[in-house]
Amino acid sequence: LAPGAVLLHGFAQAEAAALLQAMEQLIAQAPLRHMQTPGGYTMSVATTSCGPLGWVSDPHGYRYAAHDPHTGQPWPAMPDCLLRFAIYAATEAGYPDFVPDSCMVNQYLPGNKLGLHQDRDERDLRAPVVSLSLGLPATFLFGGLQRTGPTQRYRLAHGDVVVWGGPSRLAFHGVLPVADGDHALVGRRRVNLTFRKVG
């Protein structure tokens, strides 16, 4: 995609059913919810997390926290198959030392979108982000280091993985509204899992 950023088409195809099952167990313990943004909006995308640190947004800002504010409990442990998958994908993309301590789940129903943003709440910006797409396809916008710069469009389909770091780590990116459809394995939704090294 860009220096430091790789799209691995279909990389998760074979494992998708097992990864999805692990995700379903996770959301049974830490339900998907619509976070509030610091700007006063409610996100259309529903999120949850697993691993030692989970991403939280509320009117006070964005941050990573050890506890789920919804349940008051620590976030569920990162399932082994998800952890191993993220390490494998990062290694394949040229980041052999990646060990994530956070996995965020984003669920998009048809029409849901994610505005252009940077991922900059992680302390260690040398580590890449590994992103796994499951279910309905989406159009991913990938820009530069300025919000107003040009963006490229990529189609992310079931089983696709994006790994990015290095010079692209702070690139602006977003997701256009997801078109309606019904995926044989995942149903009427797109699920994106992002793995990070936060601490």
The residue ranges that bind ligand MD6 (CB under 6 A) are 106, 114, 119, 129, 131, 140, 162, 164, 173, 175, 192, 194
Give the list of residues 6+ apart from residue 145 with CB closer than 8 angstroms, or none: 170, 171, 172
Q: With b meaning 16 or more CB within 10 Å and e meaning fewer, what string describes 120-149? A: eebeeeebbbbbbbbbbbbebbbbeeeeee
Tell the smallest beta-carbon distance from residue 199 to ligand MD6 (Å).
17
Tell the smallest beta-carbon distance from residue 155 to ligand MD6 (Å).
12
Which residue, 158 or 173, is less far from ligand MD6 as judged by CB? 173
Rounded distance between C-alpha atoms, residue 67 and residue 3, angstroms: 35
Structure tokens at 163: 């790994």
Q: Per rule CB under 5 A, is residue 119 in the interface with Fe ion?
A: yes
Find the part of the chain contacting Fe ion (CB under 5 A) among 61-69, 70-78, 112-120, 179-187.
112-120
Q: Per rule CB under 5 A, is residue 160 in the interface with Fe ion?
A: no
Q: Per rule CB under 5 A, is residue 101 in the interface with Fe ion?
A: no
Which residue, 18 or 32, is less far from Fe ion as judged by CB? 32
Give the list of residues 6+ apart from residue 181 with CB closer than 8 angstroms, or none: 110, 136, 137, 188
Per-residue CA distances from 6 to 2, 20, 51 (Å): 7, 22, 24
Which residue, 57 or 192, is less far from ligand MD6 as judged by CB? 192
Rounded distance between C-alpha atoms, residue 97 and residue 125, angstroms: 14
Which residue, 29 or 151, is less far from Fe ion as judged by CB? 151
Residues in the chain: 199
Question: CB under 5 to 8 A by kind: which of Fe ion, ligand MD6, none does 102 bind?
Answer: none
Which residue, 74 or 151, is less far from ligand MD6 as judged by CB? 151
Return residues touching Fe ion (CB under 5 A).
119
